[in-house]
Amino acid sequence: MDKDKIIQLTEEYGGEYGLNHTRRLLNIISLIGERMNYNKEVLWVSAYLHDWGGYPKWAQSGIDHAIRSKQVAEDFLNSEGYEKSFINHVLECIEYHHGSNEVRSVESQLLIDADAIDFLGTVGILREFSTKPRELRKAVESAKSRMEKNKKVIKFEQSKKIVEQRIKRAERLLFEFEEESFGIF
């Protein structure tokens, strides 16, 4: 496996955002999966490739980035000579990384939990504000909505503990932001 190539392509086409998001995912996965038995190679590749379809080089208007990421990942992994069973496992993780009732592997759920957790807390809120500029009140509501949505896809107990901590910090940050921005006392 040429990890350097995957990292380089993620940084080249996903920028600092894509690379840092992936590194945070891998850190979160190591925390929640600490006592679990899972295929680390499948999850490493899945984490790096899960958003490739959303990067400008590969994104296609009207196609969900998870579906597009699956297509891009399949082409890339086939061109690099990965085994079919490995490719299929990675593709499952990528396809379902926003949550699904069809999750079949611990690796898929680890990626779902980690991706959802990364959108929670301070980093998630700041990312919400910086990547989608809009009226401040709408940004606050969007951040709150995303927190509620992401809490629902979390399955592992360790993930739920992390979510609880991050939600508390996020709610405190949003309260202070609203108080200072809109004069809510």
DSSP codes of every residue in 13-37: HHHHHHHHHHHHHHHHHHHHTTT--
User: Total structural domains in the chain?
Assistant: 2
User: What is the separation of C-alpha 158 from the centre of its chain, rounded to a whole number of angstroms?
Assistant: 17
Any domain includes 165: yes
Which of residues 98, 129, 159 is at a domain's end? 98
Per-residue pLDDT at 185 exceeds 60: no
Most confident of the following: 54-63, 80-89, 132-141: 80-89
CA distance 100 to 122: 25
Model pLDDT, residue 133:
61
Task: Locate 44 and state its tokens.
Answer: 């490493």
Q: Are residues 23 and 88 in the same domain?
A: yes
Which residue range forms the structural domain that includes residue 43?
A: 1-98
Q: Are residues 27 and 89 in the same domain?
A: yes
Per-residue pLDDT at 156 exceeds 70: yes
